[in-house]
Amino acid sequence: MNIVVCIKQVPGTTQVKVNPDTGTLIRDSVEAVLNPFDEYAVEEALRIKEKQGGTVRVITMGPPQAESALRQAIAMGADEAWLISDAAFAGSDTWATSYTVSRGIRALGEFDLVVCGKQAIDGDTAQVGPGVAEMLGIPFVAWVRKIDDISGTSLRVERLMEDGYDVVELPLPSLITVVKEINEPRMASLKGKMRAKKADIRTLTAADLGADAARLGLKGSPTQVLRSFVPEKKTGGEKISGDVPELVTKLKSTIQELGVIK
């Protein structure tokens, strides 16, 4: 089984804090990490490989620094890492990202399965996985929480829905996006970390992709961020303590006044 995992480097989001004076994001000392959802994707690929043999290749489109996220995946056990990097990709929205990543995957040659995270914790769109699948022209299932069965030619998965799950079968090659429930990602071993340090990161530029230049980067992106701003923080309302009966009376009247009980 030849598996390609798409990953993205993101800021370690728990540290994203807002400066109350300027209202902007405080980015000092925020370290860049492998998107947490992509850890599940890498882990699932490694588990399939461990059962069935094959290779796990990780690929990302990003600036040269994104290489460290690739090394994180190598440390977990991925075999090969590919960095698609070129000034021409700057400003890519999800359409252009999907296009570029799909061209990058094509450039790697044969594959059986592509695994993506559910979403990146910075952009939060969850649009790149389905976009890549469509541009590769392969079948797609989102929100996979379990792989029931995988053979040389097909895949049976559970897709998480709002009120339960669907069991879906699809032929290979195909693309899935995975949710947190699917597994518990491993910690990198010391040996893995050593290997990651020395690993060769292969790079692909716009020229290597044989891509249509009009579809890359800002120029190829239908959407643009017009502006971004920090949302008004909800400020706490009343905070009360006291006897239980008092608290209950207050709670009850508040809820009744909201008029939400049918």
Partner 1 sequence: MAITVDIEKCIGCKLCVRACAQDAIEIVEKKAVIDLAKCNYCGACVDACKKYGAITIARENAAEGIDTDSFRNVAVFIEQHEGDIAGVSFEILGEGRLLADEFGEKLIAVVLGNGMRDKAGELVKYGADKVVYLDGPDLAVFRDDTYAQLVSDFIHAEKPNVFLAGATAVGRSFIPKVAARVYGGLTADCTKLEVDREKRLLLQTRPAFGGNLMATIITPRHRPQMATVRHKVMKPAKLDPSRTGEFEVRTIAGGSIAERTKIVDIVKEVESTVNITEADIIVSGGRGMNGPDNFALIRDLAEVLGGAVGASRAAVDAGWIPYSHQVGQTGKTVCPKLYVACGISGAVQHQAGMQSSDYIIAINKDPDADIFQIANLGIVGDLFQVVPALTDSFRKELGH
Residues 129 to 168: which contact ligand FAD by CB under 6 A? 129
Tokens of 176: 């899935």
Q: Give which of ligand FAD, partner 1, none residue 38 binds (C-beta under 5 to 8 Å, depending on kind).
A: ligand FAD
Q: Check if the beta carbon of residue 85 is closer than 8 Å to that of residue 61.
A: yes
Which residue number, 92 or 183, has a Cβ lying nearer to ligand FAD?
92
Which residues, 173 to 202, sit near partner 1 by CB under 8 A? Answer: 174, 180-181
Query: For residues 251 and 9, what is the distance between their CA atoms, to the nearest angstrom?
Result: 45
Using CB under 6 A as the binding criterion, the count of chain residues that bind ligand FAD stands at: 33
- Please report whether residue 81 would count as binding ligand FAD according to CB under 6 A: no
Residues in the chain: 262
Report the SS3 class of residue 155.
strand
Q: Give which of partner 1, ligand FAD, none residue 74 binds (C-beta under 5 to 8 Å, depending on kind).
A: none
- What lies within 8 Å, CB to CB, of 88 at 6+ separation is 206, 213, 216, 217
Number of other residues whose CB lies within 10 A of the CB of residue 40: 24
- Please report whether residue 34 would count as binding ligand FAD according to CB under 6 A: no
Determine the residue with CB nearest ligand FAD.
Answer: 123
Peptide bond into 173 cis (omega under 30): yes
Q: Give which of partner 1, ligand FAD, none residue 117 binds (C-beta under 5 to 8 Å, depending on kind).
A: ligand FAD
Which of 156, 193, 195, 202 touches partner 1 (CB under 8 A)? Answer: 156
Which residues, 92 to 151, sit near partner 1 by CB under 8 A? Answer: 93-95, 98, 121-131, 133-135, 139-143, 145
Report the SS3 class of residue 60.
strand
- Please report whether residue 94 would count as binding ligand FAD according to CB under 6 A: yes
Pattern of binders to ligand FAD over 197-226, x per CB under 6 A? --------------------------x-x-
What separation in angstroms does the CA of 140 have from each of 14, 167, 169, 175? 31, 13, 10, 5
Torsion of CA 120, 53, 183, 73, to 10 degrees: -40
Which residue number, 82 or 140, has a Cβ lying nearer to partner 1?
140
- What lies within 8 Å, CB to CB, of 171 at 6+ separation is 139, 153, 154, 155
- Please report whether residue 228 would count as binding ligand FAD according to CB under 6 A: yes
We find the least distance from the C-beta atom of residue 190 to partner 1, in angstroms, to be 27
On the CB side of 66, CA atoms within 13 Å amount to: 21
Binding site for ligand FAD (CB under 6 A): 6-8, 14, 35-38, 41, 60-62, 92-95, 97, 101, 116-117, 119-120, 122-129, 223, 225, 228
